[in-house]
């Protein structure tokens, strides 16, 4: 069974067990706990498969920036979005001039998605800034 289907089945069983308010609910929850190993492979527990909120660095491309933008400007732009400082790479031409594009790597996919939702088309120096996943 595909992992997605297994997760759906687990969610359905968990919801059904939570809805029960009888002595059978405890037995059902015990049965669910016993099957958890079958529903979630060892690779999930080891971190090989991650959820959006677990450390899973995700890069966002930021376009339309003014020429003099600095990493501190970018950190300030995303203030409140990230828990740990993101990695910021200002893209340059071969002769060292800024392209007006930055790659920001957030610690989790959740942070990256939140940045896009909250900051796409916000203004920096009277310019709308475009964000999308790398």
pLDDT in tens, 96-106: 888 899 999 99
3-state secondary structure of 128: strand
**Structural domain boundaries of the chain?**
3-45, 58-133
In the DSSP assignment, the letter for residue 129 is P
pLDDT for the residue numbered 43: 43
3-state secondary structure of 102: strand
3-state secondary structure of 52: coil
Please, what is the Cα angle at 55 between 49 and 61, to 5 degrees? 105
pLDDT band at 7 (very low <50, low <70, confident <90, very high): low
pLDDT in tens, 39-77: 444 444 444 455 555 678 999 999 999 988 899 999 999
* Helix, strand, coil fractions of the chain, as percent rounded to 5: 40, 20, 35
Instruction: With beta carbons less than 8 A apart as the criterion, state whether 19 and 32 touch.
Output: no
pLDDT for the residue numbered 81: 92
Q: Can you tell me the mean pLDDT for 7-22? A: 53
pLDDT for the residue numbered 13: 55
pLDDT value at 83 more than 70: yes
Instruction: With beta carbons less than 8 A apart as the criterion, state whether 62 and 90 touch.
Output: no
Q: How far is CA 105 from the centre of its chain?
A: 11
Third-level CATH fold of 58-133: Alpha-Beta Plaits (3.30.70)
Q: Can you tell me the mean pLDDT for 20-26? A: 51
pLDDT value at 38 more than 80: no
Q: Can you tell me the mean pLDDT for 81-87? A: 91
pLDDT for the residue numbered 2: 53
Instruction: With beta carbons less than 8 A apart as the criterion, state whether 98 and 62 touch.
Output: no
The DSSP bridge pattern shows strands 87-92 and 123-124 to be unpaired
């Amino acid at each position: 069974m595909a992992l997605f289907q297994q997760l759906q089945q687990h969610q359905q069983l968990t919801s059904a067990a939570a809805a029960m308010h009888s002595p059978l609910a405890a037995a059902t929850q015990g049965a669910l706990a016993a099957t958890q190993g079958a529903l979630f492979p060892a690779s999930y527990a080891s971190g090989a498969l991650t959820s959006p909120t677990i450390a899973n660095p995700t890069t966002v491309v930021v376009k339309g920036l003014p020429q003099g933008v600095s990493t501190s400007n970018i950190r300030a732009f995303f203030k409140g979005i990230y828990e740990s400082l993101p990695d910021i790479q200002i893209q340059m031409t071969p002769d060292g001039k800024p392209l007006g594009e930055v790659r920001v790597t957030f610690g989790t996919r959740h942070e990256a998605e939140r940045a896009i939702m909250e900051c796409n088309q916000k203004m920096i120096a009277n310019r709308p800034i475009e964000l999308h996943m790398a």
